[in-house]
Amino acid sequence: MGALEDVSAERRRQVEAEGWTFEHDDTHADGALAAAAACYAWAGSQSKIINQTRIRDALTSYFGSDVGQLIQRMWPWDPIWWKPKEDRRANLIKAGALILAELERLDRAAPAGETGTAETVGLGAKHEHAVGKAEAPR
């Protein structure tokens, strides 16, 4: 599979296996999805394979100063949901899927009267929204 297909598959997994539906995502208007994506993108940016425990411990400032505290401040949810992998690519795929979820959420939340297009790549459909009146795509 290519990168786009991998991100799409992860987004689909988040919805179907984890239950993170469009309705659930719409409750995160505070930027939490984008913040979580940034944390996973950071984990994917590491040039060496990092032990998963070390990455997870960034939330409790294992790295000491800046990096650990930054992740700890940015991570929007309970630390139990911080699940980075040792595989950089897997972390970047998860970051991409979270970015896609945030983009879809923004499209659904666009002001009434504007037409937005949320291409739900992860779910294999393109949804046109008369934004403000649209129901979450299924």
Range of the domain at 42: 3-130
Q: What is the pLDDT of residues 84-130, one digit of tens each?
A: 887 889 999 999 999 999 999 999 998 876 645 544 444 544 333 33
Q: What is the pLDDT of residues 17-75, one digit of tens each?
A: 999 999 999 999 999 999 999 999 988 887 665 555 566 565 554 444 456 667 778 88
> What confidence category does residue 80 fall into, taking pLDDT thresholds of 50, 70 and 90?
confident
CB atoms within 10 A of CB 40: 25
Q: 3-class SS at 112?
A: coil
Number of domains in the chain: 1
Whether residue 135 lies inside any domain: the answer is: no
Whether residue 91 lies inside any domain: the answer is: yes
First-last CA distance in the chain: 24
Whether residue 137 lies inside any domain: the answer is: no
Whether residue 136 lies inside any domain: the answer is: no
- β-pair type (115-120, 125-130): antiparallel
Burial class (CB in 10 A: 0-12, 13-18, 19+), 6: middle
Whether residue 103 lies inside any domain: the answer is: yes
Whether residue 138 lies inside any domain: the answer is: no
Q: What is the pLDDT of residues 30-39, one digit of tens each?
A: 999 999 999 9
3-state helix, strand, coil in the chain (%, to 5): 55, 10, 35
For residue 82, what pLDDT is reported?
81
Whether residue 34 lies inside any domain: the answer is: yes
For residue 70, what pLDDT is reported?
74
Structure tokens at 110: 């666009």
CB atoms within 10 A of CB 29: 11
How many Å separate Cα 30 from the centre of its chain?
A: 13
Whether residue 70 lies inside any domain: the answer is: yes
**Percentage of the chain lying above the pLDDT 70 cut:** 64
